[in-house]
């Protein structure tokens, strides 16, 4: 699940750099794997809508 969260954040228009804040190798690995996940704009907006409960105006 974490890698999808990282993938979503990495595709924000403001291009933030997530701070994983952990020495746990699993979290570091998830952040690295997020770079390889393919997410369309439609998928990105569907996740946003699910999280916020409304669509982009």
What pLDDT was estimated at residue 31? 87
Where along the chain do its domains lie?
Answer: 2-52
Would you tell me the crossing angle of helices 41-52 and 2-10 to the nearest 10 degrees? Answer: 110
pLDDT the model gives residue 27: 85
**10 touches 18 (CB < 8 A):** yes
Q: Which residue has the tokens 């770079």?
A: 35
Q: How confident is the model at residue 19 (pLDDT cuts 50, 70, 90)?
A: confident
Nearest CA to 48 out of 5, 19, 18 is that of: 5
Mean pLDDT for 40-51 is 93
pTM reported for the whole predicted model = 0.73
């Amino acid at each position: 699940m974490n890698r999808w969260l990282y993938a979503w954040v990495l595709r924000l228009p403001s291009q933030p750099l997530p701070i994983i804040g952990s020495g746990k190798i699993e979290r570091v690995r998830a952040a690295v794997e997020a770079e390889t996940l393919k997410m369309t704009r439609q998928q990105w907006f569907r996740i946003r809508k699910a999280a916020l409960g409304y669509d982009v105006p």
